[in-house]
A and B are shown apart, each in its own frame.
Chain A
């Protein structure tokens, strides 16, 4: 047994895939390793459940509020602030901040900002990221090594290059243009296909087509077939016609884009466009409708944020004609998440819906919970 590695060596060897022969031949080492694996497996299962979604949402809000300089509202938040400050201060004092592992690597890119440009070089090689907020920058990138990347990022697009020189501009954090001087650039904009640009090529976001303006008297058609499938457990309902925007404002364009995507069953694009609609004009005539269809699209895309977005909608528009449907749909999402108490409350709210289909869905939800 003198040929047996130490336990430490055995662990490393197994991790490197270098010990199977020894483990097969040595019953003692195999038993030790099996016990170790069993202990690790038990340890993985010994986890405390997450706090309820509402508590996590409260924490999320406190974090975001503090990030904007607003008062932090969460209970004990002041303690956290003190702890974080004390931790940072103590770490600085004691020299315990994360130690630099290696000298900062060089960058591939040379960036020349245009006047007034706002940007941030967020990371170095091997994955160089430049976050462009506003204005233009000229970028020259030396050839990348295998596995290295260089990207310019805005909130709605990424521009990835492989050794080139180009000019990129953004307005209000959104990608406004790309012009390639030499080399190749790939532009991936939200909601559109990736485009490969070569030397001399330029990219701009698609213009708003005012020629396609919908007359105010002509509402968008009610959902034609194929209408998006309703969330599970809820009978499909015809999509209601929506009041047309008074003009082709940016939010109206976003709203129409959302419906185009929803009818094409592209729920991710639809949810982003509905979100954009409410963001552009939070108090406008389209906001309530877009706020309702946003979580619907998220739910159909099977996105985890759907429940939170339904809650937001119901908090903000408790008297909306869509409130009953939203409550029932939220109830089913909560059933899936195992949050039975809130699910019951949401289903009960759904019993007041004008639509019999929605009321039936809410009754079915209560029945599924074993509640009369």
Chain B
């Protein structure tokens, strides 16, 4: 029955919205009411802050500003910025945790994930079958950067993924269209409590003639995704958010016929690198499979549990200013903290870096641009080819030495 509720919940999002007599419907209504109240509080605080600043600013301007007045304005402005960022982060958390409290009531245990999903695929009502045969031995999951708005990727990235998919070995399945910055299996535009806001933002972005308005809308979306990256890297909230995202990825893998034990490779671009590192250990436990991570121009904290990951490959452009900010934004990656999870992983040889000369973070010299696309794809294929060789070596070793492990730590 729990699986039935889950399927209703995520097989058809609109069914939840229209049918409030079901448990998921009632839970979503409650979540929406709570979110509405939080929206009112956030708006009121923002209005008060703006009124305070404007009132103070106009008085100062009237009296002819001096240098000390400018400094005071600067201090007040900085304080307001910090307040707004903090409030936006807290509001984002509210929607996450209201979701956490309500969503998991109808979710089957991870131990039963793939058995039930494979039963659905096979149309069998017999005993749960673990690890039904799949044509793929490896699943490559792509997690997009903070520019991600919806399941469909931008044209450049779509071309990149098409080219990558064409070059993949026959036993590798590319999983794309995953929204890494929403926890519900739906688009940002459908998020409970904030859909009214995002619908307007997306409408403005698509129809407004002014490039400034379009830019502002894009910044708002990216700001939301940056907050999610911040939540993922936070030592308090990260474990829970990353678990939620791992469940979402597992659900998608189950729909694609994933069988336990098949290798998982997480390919994260920019902020997607943080999400990839966050979900890796959870996916390893849920899927009982080795997990490998490839970050492309990745921005990540390295605070996560990394001991269970097979290897982390970093594709870094020599002209990428954003990825190089990583150690500054996340002290755990700085060499000054040798005991951090990231630095321990580096010392143990789990981290491999591949530099691509001349490549930047995005734009005409970014990884998805025609100039560097093939280089990045070749690097990814080389990593996958290397992992295949390692898997084969592990297989032959385990055949010769019965006591050797099957690639799990």
Do A and B come from the same complex? no
